Structure 1
């Protein structure tokens, strides 16, 4: 249980994560696994990274602790949990705290059928009282900051009525950080993929929520594809911006300049150097019994829009699934981008 002293001690750690949350990479199923996050961390030292959604039943009933595995270099890193049982979510939070996560996020936004059948995700927008009970139990169980990622509403709900009520009820349970996907989720009639594109974006509503609830830390999510947009939203008063698919498909475009532009460090990163830095990581992964493609599938978009990007993707896509494929394939693929000039930052195996 948290105590008054522990609550006082939270301030510094929470403020560090909140600064990181100026820009974050959204939790995305099948995409933001630990290998993806390791790559993203090489591109940006400060951006807040989120895991794929992990369900509390998988952790508590299934003891699937391997789902909590991550590399220490990933910090700051947040765990997203899915669930709707307060006691079970509380137990999952204890596990997450033991693993050293910087934030624990409750999923109130995913529209998939599987999530609905488990009574969590976006369907919880219809039950803010239960969400408040969940986050209260989660906060009592650990000293990690609890946040909520939500939609602006679901199905026939009126977002201008539903979202303020949702924020009021859930914040009354002690949550002060929200990531709001600026679209409704249509649980009836649209697939999860369609829910990412078809419902119209309502950025103005999210901006209005920041004005109505100035004490809350609010990040905006949905359809954001550039650092220019990130800077605009921050200038307009939002506390953070969360980017999903663009950060995955074109990670260098989003993350290589993020530390300088969003966090004021004056630094940038180089995707070619990141490839070289991935090689020791891949060597460890293969030595532990992993396969090259489990890592390189997240690297296919690293040179999107750059000469040689197609060759890079082709070499990795065709070669990584083969038995015995190793990190030398990255250098072969990189040759398509650099034209054979890979001396700078070249990796020497120990």
Structure 2
């Protein structure tokens, strides 16, 4: 394992560069994001360990980030003051673009993986917005009417994007449709008492399959062709699940980060091509990484090299880069 300390700043998320196998970025906040500044770290993986190539300080805490899919040096960050900022690693000090339309904390940003010219943000103000780096104002606003923790574009379509919120719902939007663009609105935990959904991710190999997780500690997968019943349920975390990510290499593997201070790797229990028409499957925990000493709130997979390398960040001010295969039973 390799490690780096974001001293004075609690990590909120990290992302590997889609262009460089040795570069990643971390969004951090002072004082656990409650009050104080934020810092964006751009880090390099070297023969001598992880080194800071550049840092950018912000006036409020940073909660998420996303690398541009077009410009290898640009990264967008989500801020607690409701702003979104675009930084260029090749330039110093100031963001090259800034937007401030959200009325509350921006908790998620995600770049369009298919179209590549737009990105999305979600906020506690109950909206998802779509942006172009070339435009001074948002292109589209999608209402969720509840505190929205996570948004993501589909890796299979340029017009599909999803969001999960405090009202226990997963929403899927298609920007080709008339407003409000809603395709699906799924009650994630069914008839159970509502529980905030904090995170979700699209399967990179199976179009229409989405995993969700949140306060009730359970990871669920859904197939949009039959969204009324979960495809599978993955249980094992002891506290809320803060972040999940499907593997870019394997269609049935999920990585999760939790307030129980662990990262876990899972088999989602779904046979490739399943439609969710049968009984809900039970996923299997394949291993646990427990090097963090505080809440783990961010994970990401490396797309390069041998499959299985990942990174995680937490409120212990630590970034760990590790081989998932090393913790799998």
Q: Fold conserved (TM > 0.5)?
A: no
More strand by percentage: 2
**TM-score of the superposed pair, with normalisation by structure 2:** 0.31
Higher helix share: 1
Structure number with bigger Rg: 1
User: Which of the pair has the greater relative contact order for Cα pairs under 8 Å at 6+ separation?
Assistant: 1
